[in-house]
Structure 1
Amino acid sequence: MRLINIESVEPGQYLGKTIFSDNGTVLLSTGVQLTVFMISTLKRLGVSTIYIDDPQFRDIESQDMLSDETKRAVIKQMSETFEALRSGKEFSTRAISQTIDQLLDDVMRNSGVMVHLSDIRTADNAAYVHAMNVCMLSTLIGLNMGLNMLQLKDLSIGALLHDIGKLNAPEVQEGRMHHAWRGFEILKMKREYSLLVAHVAFQHHEAVDGSGLPRGITGDEIHTYAKIVAVANTYDNLLYQPESGTPMLPHEACERLGAMSGTLLDHEVLTQFMKVVSVYPNGISVKLSNRKIGVVVGQHRGLPTRPIVRIISREDEDTVEAKEIDLAQHHTLFIEAVLS
């Protein structure tokens, strides 16, 4: 399958990856043939890119870290949690803990997979998908940094709930409560959780140089869990909710993160992040420095900028030739541009 911009999708094409609604149910299933109405609806819902089934690239997998079952469970749980908070009710810490166990199982099973945050977002499910992605990516970084299972669970819960203070509390101006404070106040009352879970919400907007919020603490004053979530949160926001209003592609977001190393973000956490993220995800179309255009079909862990690219050339009407170029073996070639 290929990852393409929604503006390039044509009626009659087949969806390559399931799209979930805001409550975790399936909005559109893999394999459905897209109609004009479906495409228009996806645009109206705020969907910007989707995977389509392309016969020439049908063998390409998006290498998901989480199963569809786990994604549905996490999105559904976040929907229920947010709804409880909006209604002034208590959310179920036990249900969240059970959902995190399911996510941890998937991450441990697929820890060798390069991460691409490819799940389709709509205006309704964006907050839940964001929480899920920050949780998944934080957990994998923590695993790479040698955290044990108890530590990973605290990190994962904190990452999933890092923005819980945003509910019923619009982002604040100077002198008023920042959502990190509110998140800390909510989570520290949950005695079923470690206090470190609350500190993830409290500190995930702190910066290692002291320029962050809400307290301006620096370096080792910031807990490792919060440093990890800060990287995952910043990356996902650059892809989908950038302050500039212009979403970035993965390689652009990684370059931006690199510029924050040692100032806003922790250098060691960023080093581990770059080992697990897919800079040029499978299915994306690219232009190489030799002017050939192809689709990324494979990855090398530890070499995120040197994927395997499949070039399709047409000799004549009846002859199509496919050639794969492994950029890890062709040191003079590089990706010049990412195409929609």
Structure 2
Amino acid sequence: MLRRIDVDGLRVGMFVCRLDRSWLETPFFRHRFLIRNRKQLEQLRAACRQVTIDTEQGLDLPPAANITAEELAPAQLLVAATEEQAHSLGRELVTAGGAHREASGVLEQVLDDVRLGRGVDTQRTRQVVKGLTESVVREPSALLCLTQLKTRSRYAAQHSVNVCIFTLVFARHLGLPGEVMHDLGLGALLLDVGKARIPVEILDKPDKLTPAEFALVKRHTLYGRRILEQHGVSDLVLEVVSDHHERIDGSGYPRGLKGKEIGLYARIVGLVDVYDAITSARVYGDPVSTLEAMRLLYQWRYQQFDHRLVEKFIQCLGVYPAGSLVEMDSGEVGVVVRVNARNRTRPVVRLLLDRSKRPLAEAPLVDLTRPMEDGASMTIGKVLDPLAWQDRLGEMWNEETLAANV
């Protein structure tokens, strides 16, 4: 028997078969599951108002006389981000900024070396990845914020560093071992090293590539593998570099692999690679918002990507990843500093501009899971393109100011 009930009436042992909202607004990636513990109860009570239970697959509502005070206890409030947490993030941003700058510099040097026929300094790249990994383990939101400070002029190095950061954050979320996490980050940082063998005029061509040009660009994965095979990197790194453009439906390159023929780590980096590419300004196209990027990944989850990884990636970053520049429905502009794990549509935001788009003197921190002092709720209206807002934000949108504000 199906029964629609308020979330306050839920108990461990009940079988939920329908929620009252989209899965994107909850921590759950399926709407049919058995409630096994108090944590799931709290998550349901925080995310939903009503759910539908199936009494044939789980417990029913108990008789009124048997309902205990504990079972009717109100849902626990989501833990709001405190100013202390924000200051911790600000401190990590300073350290992360140094690691980020070093990674960009090292990657640009690697690409220059390969263009000139020199070898890859794998020892230095490993040290760079070590620094990024340590920052992600301490506070992933710091480097995530820095991935949003994008420019059109340095796409190649910027993209590889961002893919490395997103990959490390995702690996942390998946609970991968430290050694795997480090090699995965190294493969992500060097995923496009083979493009140094492709003429710049083809890579920077704003128009559609000819079939011959595209065939040459596709060879960068093979070039990259051959370059790194000479430097004693692990098979995991080689797999990532050679196979990150393979797709689940067999439409990728260079070998047209399908499904599980593609290694897990190449599937992870391939997904992250596309996410950063479509959210970045490139010579041949404008970026899409992070929200639109998540929608596209979800749309492509069975054709191009492993659907389980897509769902976990969205869960990892949230609908509004840390560092996203957003406009509230009331007009204020701010930066997302932390994702609320229990409700990915309501992150913690540091407001930068008021409704008239003037800089705020105090830059308040707002947890969107909590009502304002007047009882009203603040929600995100849209995601903004940081490049389009650089002139208006001025010095508010740089590494040093972000560290001071978040």
Q: Same fold (TM over 0.5)?
A: yes
Q: Does 1:255 align with 2:300?
A: no
Q: What is the rounded CA distance, in whole Å, between the counterparts of 1:269 and 1:63 in structure 2? A: 28
1:227 matched residue in structure 2? 267
Q: Does 1:150 align with 2:190?
A: no
Cα distance change, pair 62–284 in 1 and its aligned pair in 2 (3 A): farther
Q: Does 1:95 align with 2:133?
A: no
Q: Does 1:275 align with 2:275?
A: no
1:118 matched residue in structure 2? 148
1:264 matched residue in structure 2? 304
Identity of aligned residues (%): 27
Moved over 4 A (4+): 58-66, 170-177, 241-244, 280-283, 308-314, 320-326, 329-334
Shift of 1:137: 0.7
Q: Does 1:300 align with 2:330?
A: no
Could you tell me whether the CA contact under 8 Å between 1:86 and 1:167 is conserved in 2? yes
Cα distance change, pair 77–86 in 1 and its aligned pair in 2 (3 A): same
Amino acid at match of 2:170: I
Amino acid at match of 1:254: M
2:231 matched residue in structure 1? 190
Q: Does 1:163 align with 2:192?
A: yes
1:2-59: CA deviation from partner (whole Å, max 9, x where unpaired): xxxxxxxxxxxxxxxxxxxxxxxxxxxxxxxxxxxxxxxxxxxxxxxxxxxxxxxx99
Deviates more, 1:253-262 or 1:327-336: 327-336
Q: In the alignment, which of 280, 286, 291 is matched to residue 327 of structure 2? A: 286
1:1-340 matched pairs, under 5 angstroms: 64=93, 67-111=96-140, 115-116=144-145, 117-123=147-153, 125-170=154-199, 173=213, 178-191=219-232, 193-241=233-281, 245-277=285-317, 279=320, 281=322, 284-288=325-329, 292-296=330-334, 298-302=337-341, 303-308=343-348, 312=354, 326-329=367-370, 334-338=379-383, 340=389
Q: What is the rounded CA distance, in whole Å, between the counterparts of 2:303 and 2:191 in structure 1? A: 21
1:260-308: CA deviation from partner (whole Å, max 9, x where unpaired): 11211222222232233252655734142xxx21234653333332234
Amino acid at match of 1:186: I
1:32 matched residue in structure 2? none
**What is the TM-score when the length of structure 2 is the normalising length?**
0.59
Could you tell me whether the CA contact under 8 Å between 2:326 and 2:383 is conserved in 1? yes
Q: Quick check: which has more Rg, 1 or 2? A: 2
Could you tell me whether the CA contact under 8 Å between 1:114 and 1:301 is conserved in 2? no
Hey, which of these two has a bigger chunk of helix by percent?
A: 2
Q: What is the rounded CA distance, in whole Å, between the counterparts of 2:325 and 2:151 in structure 1? A: 17
* Number of residue-to-residue matches in the alignment: 273
Q: What is the rounded CA distance, in whole Å, between the counterparts of 2:143 and 2:135 in structure 1? A: 13
Could you tell me whether the CA contact under 8 Å between 1:111 and 1:140 is conserved in 2? yes
Cα distance change, pair 199–304 in 1 and its aligned pair in 2 (3 A): same
Could you tell me whether the CA contact under 8 Å between 1:131 and 1:162 is conserved in 2? yes
Q: What is the rounded CA distance, in whole Å, between the counterparts of 2:193 and 2:96 in structure 1? A: 24
Q: What is the rounded CA distance, in whole Å, between the counterparts of 1:200 and 1:238 in structure 2? A: 19
Could you tell me whether the CA contact under 8 Å between 1:115 and 1:137 is conserved in 2? yes
Could you tell me whether the CA contact under 8 Å between 2:333 and 2:355 is conserved in 1? no
1:105-149: CA deviation from partner (whole Å, max 9, x where unpaired): 1111113669342123251x3211111110011111112222111
Deviates more, 1:136-145 or 1:322-331: 322-331
Amino acid at match of 1:180: T
Could you tell me whether the CA contact under 8 Å between 1:154 and 1:194 is conserved in 2? yes
Cα distance change, pair 308–208 in 1 and its aligned pair in 2 (3 A): same
Amino acid at match of 1:299: R
Q: What is the rounded CA distance, in whole Å, between the counterparts of 1:76 and 1:179 in structure 2? A: 21
Amino acid at match of 1:83: D
| Structure 2 SS opposite 1:196 | helix
Q: CA RMSD in A?
A: 3.4
**What is the TM-score when the length of structure 1 is the normalising length?**
0.69
Amino acid at match of 1:304: R
Q: What is the rounded CA distance, in whole Å, between the counterparts of 2:259 and 2:173 in structure 1? A: 20
1:164-216: CA deviation from partner (whole Å, max 9, x where unpaired): 1111224654765621111122122222x112211111111111111111111
For structure 1, which runs of at least 5 residues remain unmatched after alignment? 1-57, 315-319
